[in-house]
Structure 1
Amino acid sequence: MSKNMDTPTAVEANAAAEEAGLADPNDMQLLAKMGYKQELRRQYSTVQIFAVAFSIMGLVPSIASTIAFSLPAGPAGMVWGWFTASIFIFFVGLAMADMASGMPTAGGLYWWTHYFAGEKYKNALSFLVGYSNTLGLIGGMCSVDYTLSLMLLACVSITRDGEYTPSNGTIYGVYVGLIILHAVAGIFTGSIMPKIQTFCIYINAAIIVATVIALPVGKVARGGELNSGSFVFGHVDNATSWPTGWAFMLSFLAPIWSIGFFDSCVHMSEEALHAAKAVPLGIIYSAGSACVLGFLVLSVIAATMNPDVTATLGTVFRQPMAQIYFDALGKQGALGFMGVLIVIQFLIGLSLIVAASRQAWAFSRDGALPFSSYFRHISKRIRYQPVRAIVGLVVICIIFGLLCLINAIAANALFSLFVASNYVAWGTPILCRLVWGNERFVPGEFYTGRFSRPVAMVAVVWLAFGLVLSMFPSMGPNPTAMDMNYTIVINGFVWVACMTYYFLFAHKWYTGPKMTIDISSSEGGSETVPGSKEAGSKEATD
């Protein structure tokens, strides 16, 4: 960790932050041991940290957004694909929670990479992880608002009995409007954002209960029959030209995308109360609940959907979940549920832009992004919000969203940008800990004990598999230009450009996370992290 010149001492920085009412002294001291002064206001409880991740996952809207990835494998592929993948994803959450408890900082993933990696590799790997995580979150923002635009326009199509089909230009225009609206809301709702996150728990729970009850009741009330248990849990389809086994594997993409935002808890670390406990619990609660509740919701969907999978996939509404609601509940029922999904999807985008802005701000604080001195600014006038980081993210999202103008396949690359970039960002610090950091890792308040290393190993293997899986064309081998999965192109460009930028220019000035307080003048000259042996011995002598 490098140190800026003329930085305040830990005592001075903490005193200033405490005077401003930003945080509890214990949280400030924990952050100070990692070299950072408190700049954001800590106002999120453990429940609200969980709510951030749970809200961004937005289980039913996320299932609606990604059901096209799992439907080709049929009901059994959809249900068991979710269950299987979500178990492995939970291992990733456990591995991340171990590190988040000991070292809770907004830039966690790239900070951990730098801390654990070997001396020769730490700067380059930290740089790669920071860019991958930032761009992965941008991909998530783009895909959430792209899906939201499709949901809104699907409602228009339903009201016109399927006779309206939006153009790509219309979809992009709605998408841009939503991105801007999210930015404005993210900037000016900072003071009530924790309460918004709490509300998100209730509305997400309500739509899960309503979906589980209304779909089967509505299906029967309209004279339909529920699909049998053997159909739901045993019928495998294959609407692709891949072998059936691989088509089942590709159904993993739905939970990979849907249960992919628990790292948002990490990015909220510097706004969490009692971060060493709140952040890891937020991670495992959100990942665990998504596993169980997603399996329940998809089982009900499989029991009520049209047995003809291709009919649902080829819906005139351009949104398979809209067709499922329409088939079970009719026009008015479908519009009602889609309306609630739209509200929740909007809240997902709002929560995501908050989390993404914290990662971008933290990376700018460490001088890694272009124009870092500009984007690392915190607006005290607007309640300690990283306003410039939010605006920068919006501009990039509008540019990336131009893919909507090509076709749906190109737009789906936004989903893949999120998956591939984030899987690299999640897997690298876990791998670095396994390879180089065993002696350096000291657990925080949350710890998986003797299972910590085995859990981390499973997580790394799964993340490597998921990364490869995200790059396969979803409909079959020998794809046309229209069916091609452009993940390797987009992410390959991101990774190559990032490393080229680092080795040509950034290596001269990027030396890892930068200290924003002077630990040496107040703590005897040692750079420590929470829970480290050095920190423990120093605290004992103090």
Structure 2
Amino acid sequence: MQNMQILGGLVVIIMLPLVARPTQSASYVFTHFETAPESTGISSKPYAVILSVLLSNYCLYGYDTAAHLTEETKGADRTGPIAILSSIGIISFFGWAYNLALTFSIQDPNYLYDPNNETGGGLVPAQIIYDAFHRRYQSATGAVVFMCIIWGSFFFCGLSVTASAARVVYALSRDKGIPFSPIWRKIHPKYKVPRNAVWLCAVIGMLLGLPILKLDVIFTAIISISTIGWVGGYAVPIFARLVMAEKNFKPGPFYLGRARRPVCLVAFLWICYTCSAFLLPTVYPITWDTFNYAPVALGLVLSLVMLWWVLDARKWFKGPVRNIDVNNGI
């Protein structure tokens, strides 16, 4: 699955600039700044820079999947951090390459945000691909093929997210931390996977995706909430490590040494910044159709969780269930 994503990404990254020749100049790609106030309502360059981190951060946090796999690998205390760093490196490389391929392939910058263009001015990457093929071959067939490749990558990404979410549900149910835990932690006797947890995540994903077919603002809210949820979760142990006395910490084989506190401080501040950015409006003027509902939904979810904790969960949830005897090594 990952090989297909990498292969498809390479095809788009390499072939698109070749089709779009002549391409934009390097000075345009690396120095031109476009806020597109006509379509976004945003003319402030600092605000546009703040919003520009949203997509990159959502993609970079793919290391979360690598973290979920650590308990299923041998030597996880060493291979886990290596997998996380490798994931960040690969994502960074392909992300930069994809963005460069798109920006170099722009044909008419003013046409990208035109509400009367082929994508209604709202799907800039798709419009770039369409313009490149239509200008070169007077046909959109190649653009459709490229969009299918990108759609396939999204589909496989969705499978990865579902698998990762199922692991989280299984882990929480194993620790008796969610309702109906015995159902979700049940392992299929033949395939040795938590099938019920997988189906639960798949159904929830499909239900959340249905409103997106009608309202784009739902997609923004879901992406924002999901990113804040898993990124914010990392802020807790990072902050704890930042303030923890060194005598109370036992380092493992992957240890930052003297760099530990500066790295933790930068990571914690970066998480606070990115989580705050995901709560900001992305389109102006603010209306019912453009409002970022992430703060409302996040506040509602946190309120329900805290209410559940105060009224019920604190009476029986005691934290992770130990399934390994440290003294005997079993």
2:229 equivalent in structure 1: 421
Partner residue in 2 for 1:320: 124
Following superposition, the deviation at residue 295 of structure 1 comes to: 1.9
Q: How far has the Cα of 1:406 moved from its partner?
A: 4.4
Q: Distance in 2 between matches of 1:210 and 1:259?
A: 21
Q: Are the aligned partners of 1:473 and 1:485 in contact in 2 as well (CA < 8 Å)?
A: yes
Contact preservation (8 Å) 1:378, 1:384: yes
The residue number in structure 1 matching 2:318 is 511
* Offset of residue 471 of structure 1: 0.6
Question: What is the RMSD of the two structures over their aligned residues, measured on CA atoms?
Answer: 2.1
Deviation of 1:336 (Å): 1.8
Counterpart check, 1:351 vs 2:147:
no
- Tell me which residue corresponds to 2:66: 265
Partner of 1:431: 239
In structure 2, the residue matched to 1:105 is none
* Residue identity matched to 1:235: H
Residue in structure 2 matched with residue 446 of structure 1 by the alignment: 254
- Tell me if 1:302 matches 2:103: yes
TM-score by length of 2: 0.88
What secondary structure is seen at the aligned counterpart in 2 of 1:369? coil
Q: Distance in 2 between matches of 1:313 and 1:506?
A: 52
Matched, 1:361 2:170: yes
From 267, 289, 306, give the equivalent of 1:482.
Answer: 289
- Ranges in structure 1 where 5+ consecutive residues have no aligned partner: 1-195, 524-542
1:380 aligns with 2:181: no
Shift of 1:313: 7.2
Q: Which runs of 4+ in 1 moved over 4 A?
A: 312-315, 517-520
Look up the SS of the partner of 1:471 in the other structure: coil
Q: Do 1:312 and 1:324's aligned partners in 2 also have CA atoms closer than 8 Å?
A: no
> Aligned match of 1:228 in 25, 35, 52?
25
* Residues 1:424 and 1:372: Cα distance change in structure 2 (over 3 Å): same
Letter in 2 for 1:324: I
Aligned residues: 317
Q: What does the per-residue CA deviation read over 1:398-425, in whole Å, with 9 as the maximum and x for residues that have no partner? A: 3333432541112221111211112211
What is the rounded CA distance, in whole Å, between the counterparts of 1:438 and 1:403 in structure 2?
49
Aligned pair in 2 of structure 1 residues 380, 440: CA closer, same or farther (>3 Å)? Answer: farther
Give structure 2 stretches of 5+ with no counterpart. Answer: 135-139
Q: How much has 1:335 moved relative to structure 2?
A: 1.8
Query: Which structure has the higher relative contact order (CA within 8 Å, separation 6+)?
Result: 1
Q: Decide whether aligned partners of structure 1 residues 370 and 232 sit closer, same or farther in structure 2, where only a CA change above 3 A counts.
A: same
**Superimposed CA distance per residue, residues 100-140 of structure 1 (whole angstroms, 9 cap, x where no aligned partner):** xxxxxxxxxxxxxxxxxxxxxxxxxxxxxxxxxxxxxxxxx
Shift of 1:438: 4.0
Say whether the 8 Å CA contact 1:420–1:487 is kept in structure 2. no
**Distance of 1:313 and 1:420 partners within structure 2:** 32
CA positional deviation for 1:380: 2.1
* Corresponding residue number in structure 1 for 2:265: 457
Is 1:241 aligned to 2:41, yes or no?
yes
Partner of 2:303: 496
Establish whether residue 338 from structure 1 lines up as the match of residue 142 from structure 2.
Answer: no
- More off after superposition, 439-448 vs 459-468: 439-448
Q: Mark the CA change 1:508 to 1:310 in structure 2 (over 3 Å): closer, same or farther.
A: farther
Q: CA deviation at 1:518?
A: 4.9
CA contact (8 A) 1:216 1:300 kept: yes
TM-score, structure 1 as length reference: 0.55
